[in-house]
Chains A and B, each alone.
Chain A
Amino acid sequence: MNNEKSRSSNPIINALRKSNMTAIGAVLVVMILIASVTSPYFLDIYNLQSVIRDLAFVGMIGVAQSLLLLIGELDLSVGKIASLCGILSGMMMVYYHWNPWLALLVSLICGLIFGAINGLIITRLRLNSMVATIGMQGVYGGINLVLTKGKAITGIPEEIYFLGKGNVGPIPAPFIFCIAVLIIVLFIVKKTKTGRYIYAIGNSREAARILGINVDKIRVLIYSLVGLISALAGILYVARLGSSQSAIGENWPMNSIASSVIGGVALTGGIGNPAGALIGAAIISIIQNMIVLLGVNVYWQSAVSGFVVVIAISFGSISEILRERKARKVKVG
């Protein structure tokens, strides 16, 4: 019954066929080409650095978010956790004169705890992740306002600025963190038991439980990790701005989900690769940069960028639609 001919013996071809990462990578390359042809400023080193600095933040959160999408859940409170942890670090450094490094470390731990709280609420009370994190983002955002009364905290010690504003060689520092996050997440996903369990849970939560996988423990673990990464992004952004602001992370929940989806991570769980989320984030950041470079009217920017993101998300399904059309044409003539 097995038709040996239709099965390629070339492992590389098989791998390419199986993953859609190459397709997404190709889209990114095409975007870069278009961008450099249409605007002479795109390849300018300062512009590139600013694009990469932007994408580092969306990329980090996107990679984290993709872990949740892999188990069929999501976290809409990532942005508020980020800004709250930024505020907390600012208060520790500026109001209480803590050692900046200690302040950053404690803020990271706070992020981890906020994530764990999300996870515990969702698993223990058996809540839907979307609804629960909409609620929790209100809570974190509210605490934020109580602490700051809406005012920014300025006077952040300059010794931490390089974390956000600095470059290592030509590479913006936040991007180094972003890559580090990606490497750690990829290691977890590809090399550890937990990673395999994540895919198992995303495929079928019931089957995973019957297999003896401690499903809730892993879910809480992922929410905690997402909280930690959000806090990291938050404090890096504080370093970038030189001040703590409640507005940090406003667009991160939506952009992180969009990056993951563009990167081929399915909303239904079990399918995808976190590295795709970083490519997705790059695509979104380039789109936003193009809109500025091409001088799109300021009032139109948001609408145009939203529209292009919708198109980018559709790449996967559009290629599927085209493939079906073609199959029908071949058949019906």
Chain B
Amino acid sequence: MKVLEATGITKLFPGVVALDSVDISFEPGQIHAIIGENGAGKSTLIKCLTGVYVPEEGSVEINGQDALKNKELFDKIAYVPQEIDLFGYMSVAENLFIPYEKSGFKGMVNQKALEEAARPLLAKFQIPVEPDELVKDISVSSQQLLQIARATVHEDYEVLMLDEPTTSLTTKDTQILFDIVRQIKSQNKAVVFISHKLEEIFALSDVITVFRNGKKVAYSEIGQVDIPWVIRQMTGREVDQNQVFCSEKVTDEVLMEVNDLTGERFTDVSFQLKRGEILGFSGLVGAGRSELMQAILGYLPVYKGTVRIDGENWKLGDPTFSVKHGYIYLPEERKKQGILPVLSIRENISVAVLDRLASATGISRKKEDELAQNVIDTYDVKTPDAEKEIQFLSGGNQQKVIIGRAMTCEPKVLVFDEPTKGIDVGTKAEIYRLMKELAEQKGIGIILISSEMDEIRKCSNRIIALYDGRKVGEFPATADKEEILSAIIGVG
């Protein structure tokens, strides 16, 4: 028996066949994993199955009835989109129950009643916040859980669709989520789970569907297959999960020296970065790693301490200076701080190096086109052309454009802040390979901030652990995992 059955779904975007006659169905009491490279069409499929997009072809049946004709059937589906879309300036309780009518709050809304109703839900999801706190003030991980709690408030849903719910969850919150998902499954509801983290998929799901380039390429029960099979189906090639990517051309020359740097979220941090080195920064969410690197950029204030890069005393507090002199920061919040969403790929790249593109009448369009095409070719960006608005690229391809842009600035120090968040396994390996290549061939210093222990150990030559804004340890690449772990949770 199937609760949702879609047949022949085709969805087109300008220049792209996002979905190519896809058949898929979900059964009650089953956790159905969907996996595929960035841009394979996973989110687009979910949006077609929840009524957000109307597919060009195909049908969607919910409990045997045509949902494209009768939109109300989509109410049977609870949907948690890939991006957080909560109301930042409203309270946790308000976010949970909006729209109020549907939650059984008729007429006037009583703040106290809302907050009381919120408590059991917060307890169920173990979200450590008060119902009256503003959503913008709670942690990203809590926001993510809250978003899932909100989707499941109305008990009458029959399918729960989670689009990459764990990308911004801490390890602990991931476990909480998994327990809840299993509970939901035991209530005989269907769950659809999208993730790029293979371990999670194998830990949680019952069946798996693999997508490649808008087509469904494989389906199996999870017990019948293993990780290498999934990667093969996804990418069409083998990816060695154990390959290491640390730089093999670390010099003795100190490229960057940070002394006793103190700012709002970090205290007395000192470290050195060598030319040709990849230096990993490990720590929990909130340990102050991003803040430290953003302060060196000049984006956040520094209270005390000095920075020297390539023999130059660094001017602090001025991002224009830092970027011009070769300190480039690639932000973790790609959507908010990295891309310029409605501009084209070309404009996103050229904006960083306009001086070089000058011509007699302003900006040379020819040079600009060449530069953009060069980045697209070098970094293998999947796009019909350079004029596509960058917001319509998949996450991995956006990241490649941003790396390409950073490289055109000829950096000396390049900071990658969680560079593989939401990125598929194949592309992850490509990004690691790129980092290694940049460190070895261009002689730059790379700083890698990552919360994934495997990633940081695979790529770094040295690892620095931060806990609560302080440096609590420095480890060689070969260090024991447990040793680093205990440092970053503050028991070193």
Contact = CB atoms under 8 A, between A and B. Distances in A.
Contact of A1 (B55, B213, B324, B350): B213
A250 interface: no
B50 to A, nearest CB: 16
A332 B343 contact: no
Contacts of B336: 204, 206-207
A29 to B, nearest CB: 27
Contacts of B99: none
B155 to A, nearest CB: 29
B398 to A, nearest CB: 12
A6 B319 contact: no
Given A1-B213, A7-B14, A332-B69, A199 B347 contact: yes
B17 interface: yes
A52 B144 CA distance: 55
Contact of B12 (A3, A14, A191, A193): A3
Contact of A191 (B321, B363, B382): B363
A210 B319 contact: yes
Nearest to A199: B343
Given A191-B362, A270-B343, A197 B351 contact: yes
Given A204-B340, A207-B336, A332-B69, A212 B319 contact: yes
Contact of A332 (B68, B297, B321): B68
A121 interface: no
Nearest to A269: B342
B54 interface: yes
B320 interface: yes
Interface string A124-147: 000000000000000000000000
Given A3-B12, A204-B339, A271-B342, A211 B68 contact: no
A331 interface: yes
A2 B319 contact: no
A210 to B, nearest CB: 5
B135 interface: no
B97 to A, nearest CB: 28
Contacts, number: 100
A154 B52 CA distance: 63
A61 interface: no
Interface string B312-347: 000000011111100001010100111111110001
Given A196-B354, A210-B299, A332-B69, A270 B342 contact: yes
Contact of B214 (A1, A7, A199): A1
Contacts of B333: 206
B180 to A, nearest CB: 33
B58 to A, nearest CB: 10
Nearest to A1: B213
Contacts of A271: 342
A213 interface: yes
Contacts of A18: 387
Nearest to A333: B69
B16 interface: yes
Contacts of A200: 340, 343, 351
B361 interface: yes
Nearest to B324: A212
A193 B297 contact: no
B355 interface: yes
B384 interface: yes
A203 B340 contact: yes
Given A197-B351, A271-B342, A2 B384 contact: yes
B453 interface: no
A206 B337 contact: yes
Interface residue tally of chain A, by bracket? 20 to 34
A207 B363 contact: no
A160 to B, nearest CB: 34
B352 interface: yes
B15 interface: yes
B12 A6 contact: yes
Contact of B340 (A187, A270, A328): A270
Contact of A207 (B54, B340, B384, B385): B340
A97 interface: no
B363 A193 contact: yes
Contacts of B385: 7
Nearest to B58: A331
Interface string B380-392: 0010110100000
Contacts of B54: 327-328, 331
A208 B336 CA distance: 10
B407 to A, nearest CB: 14
Contacts of B352: 211-212
A317 interface: no
A42 B125 CA distance: 68
B351 A211 contact: yes
Contacts of A327: 54
A14 B344 CA distance: 14
Given A200-B351, A331-B68, A213 B320 contact: yes
B15 A7 contact: yes
Interface in B1-56: 12, 14-17, 39, 54-55
A328 B214 CA distance: 23
A331 B333 CA distance: 37
A199 to B, nearest CB: 6
B350 A2 contact: no
10 contacts: A7-B15, A187-B362, A190-B362, A200-B343, A200-B351, A203-B343, A204-B340, A206-B333, A211-B352, A214-B320
Interface of A: 1-3, 6-7, 14, 18, 187, 190-193, 196-197, 199-200, 203-204, 206-214, 270-271, 327-328, 331-332
**The 8 A-B residue pairs with the shortest CB-CB distance in the complex, in nearest-first order:** A212-B323, A191-B362, A203-B340, A1-B213, A193-B354, A206-B337, A7-B15, A212-B320
Given A197-B351, A213-B351, 13 more contacts: A6-B12, A7-B15, A193-B355, A203-B340, A203-B341, A204-B340, A207-B338, A210-B297, A211-B319, A211-B323, A212-B322, A270-B342, A331-B55
